[in-house]
Amino acid sequence: MMTEISRKDIATIILLSLVLSLAVPSTAPCTEISLNTGRELSLKDAISIAFLNNKTIQIQIEEIDIAKANILGAKSAFWPKLSTSYGYTDNGAAFDLRKLAIQGGSKKDTGIFTGYTNDNKIGISVADTIYNGGANIAAFKESQLGLKVQEETLRARKLDVAFETKRLYYGLLLAYETERITQALYNEAKAHYDDVKSKFEQGTSSRFDLLQSSVQVSKIVPEVVKAGNAIEIIMAEFKKLLGFKQEDLISITGRLDFSPVEIKEEEFLKGAYKNNPEMILKLFGIDISKWEIEYAKAGYYPQVDANFGYTYRSNNLNTIFNYQHSDWALGVTVGFSIFDGMSTKAKVDAAKAKYAQAFLSKEDVTDQLAVDVKSACLDMKKSEAIIQSQRDAIVEAKDALRIAIIGYDNGVTTNLDVLDTQVSLSQVEKNLSEGIYDYLMAKAQLDRIMGRENYSEEM
């Protein structure tokens, strides 16, 4: 015999069931997000778009242009400097030796040596540094390495953007799968509640079972809402990364799945030492520091400069260009610093200290890469173990739910057994999808550590 209940209790149950039926539809999630609406993007498409629109990458491309300009600037030090000039001076008086020069048979107008009242000068000059202790060579080598540094930094930026794109892309797939699992759990709980309600109305189920089932449905509603909101949030971040407007409709292709790879930690570490951008940048840093020492040492050596000038000078521009008004000068200057207040020594000592720092920094990155590779490999192993265990558990959980439902219909199992098996199946499915996501992210992290640039991988 069923326990008698009051009309008030029945009204309460009916009202609760009506609220639940309106709160969340039984056939669709509360947030409508489809994998097949708007512009469809594969992972490769998303990464390509992110590269095109990412501001950090665009800024780094400009840095490469700056580095190329710096190389041109360093090259300019090896070329002579050619210049021309014109000058005019109005002198109140000028010493005139032209008569004496004519009497002495001079072939030059002596005004070009002593000046004119209206003094016009037009000249051309060439100056070049023949030797400056190797400073120009060191600066040129540094500029070449600077270009390589900026190019490698661009590759590092792309690897970071690719990783972030994968994180959001896989995150969306996980969010869609979580929504599907949560919605399926809601649908099962709602169907079971309807079944218990029908049995209660027929007098074959208790009021406790009915209330317990309705509470179970109520507990799932926030999870369904939360799953839908998670999709919205990740999609907003995804659009921002790719440079889309928030009102743009986009969708992603594919499904949350993985292909296991053989774990070869030693080979992975060798690949990281060879291709990791940070490691390569540290090696470039060592080379740059070496040339900085050579640049600083230039202060110990003499500097040799040469110059040549050819000048026309006259009091009349109309007659300035003739042999009588021309003169030339050629000279070589050798300079050597006997004592510079220990300035050069200070620069050399600082450059050597930076060189030592560069080696230590490279060793630190080497040690960190070993830790990062091991961590990524362990994460992949752990995730693969979870995936395999949960795949087997899904079959068992589905069988358990089927048995619990049949048993409840036949009075063998309790209502709580049905509710527990529903939750257990949902939890196993979530564990599986999260395990796949964790594996994909561990592999993406390993790709970034190893400097892999294959962005067309299939999921």
The pLDDT tens digits of the residues spanning 316-372 come to 888 889 888 889 999 999 999 899 899 999 999 999 999 999 999 999 999 999 999
Name the pTM for this structure.
0.80
| Pair type for strands 81-90 and 39-41 | unpaired
Reading the block at residue 10, the tokens are: 């029945």
Which pLDDT score, from 0 to 100, does residue 100 have?
54
Distance CA 384, CA 379 (A): 8
pLDDT of residue 102: 52
CA dist 154 and 330 (Å) reads 48
Homologous superfamily in CATH for domain 23-450? Outer membrane efflux proteins (OEP) (1.20.1600.10)
CA–CA gap between residue 255 and residue 42 (Å, rounded): 11
Chain centre to alpha carbon of residue 330: 56
What does the alpha-carbon distance between residue 178 and residue 176 come to, in Å, rounded to a whole number?
5
Residue segments in the chain with a per-residue pLDDT below the cut of 70: 1-38, 95-107, 110, 455-459
pLDDT at 306 (0 to 100): 95
Look at residue 345 in the predicted model and tell me its pLDDT. Answer: 94
Cα torsion through 381, 382, 388, 393, rounded to 10: 170
For the segment 12-54, what is each residue's pLDDT rounded down to a tens digit? 444 444 434 434 333 333 333 344 456 899 999 999 999 999 9
Q: What is the pLDDT of residue 340?
A: 87
